[in-house]
Amino acid sequence: MTTLSKDTRTSRQIVLDAIAELAGLGHAITRENLQATTGLTQHIVDDNVSRMVDEEGTLRRVRPGVYELVRGIGKMPNVYFTDIGEDSSLIIEVDDCGKLVINDPRVARKIAERLSGNYAQNLMLEMKYQFGMVSQDLMLELKQAKRELSQRIAELEAEKSNLARKLAERPTQSSLGLGFDEPATSQH
């Protein structure tokens, strides 16, 4: 007889594993795919995904309900910088990667220039991405507003037609109550 073992992973870990599986298979990372893959409720999936987008940066929202995995998933290693003495030496240590000792300030400047270029490029790409997302969101909101206005205009035109038809069905003089609708009779 076999016993079923209970899954002891947290809902976050279950969602992360599903994201890695979907990405590895080349499938879209959507709310629906995550819910189907994990078996978790949509509320739990949405809660975890929101944290991964807004707080952790593990995911990036491509459009509502569709996400992409940000490179470098996993724990960021600690990075330590140590300035040594008057000779402007610098030690850079990265957990699980090693230590770099820089004794020449020109080398430190060169590294800083190179990394600042990477940072600027990444910042520019992120700004372009964010601008695109805002533009897309505004476009979707504008389309929704146009649909709602078109629907409201159609409703008002139908209402106008109904009122015009009702008005056309009424005799004008009798509706005014002037008494012209009956011929006057003389009594002799």
- Extract the tokens encoding 12: 């976050």
Q: For the segment 40-97, what is each residue's pLDDT rounded down to a tens digit? A: 999 999 999 998 888 887 888 888 888 888 765 556 678 888 888 777 788 889 887 8
Domain boundaries along the sequence of the chain: 11-69, 79-155
Highest mean pLDDT among 12-21, 94-103, 148-157: 148-157
The more confident residue out of 151 and 2 is 151
Give this prediction's pTM: 0.39
- Considering the chain, what is the average pLDDT of its residues? 81
Closest CA to 136 of 70, 72, 61, 80: 61
pLDDT of residue 144: 92
Fold annotation for 11-69: Arc Repressor Mutant, subunit A (1.10.10)
The more confident residue out of 179 and 172 is 172
**Contact criterion met (CB below 8 Å) for 15 and 37:** no
pLDDT of residue 25: 79
Q: In sequence order, which residues have a C-beta less than 8 Å from that of residue 19 and are 6 or more positions away?
A: 29, 34, 52, 58, 59, 67, 69
CA-CA distance, 60 to 50, in Å (whole number)?
10
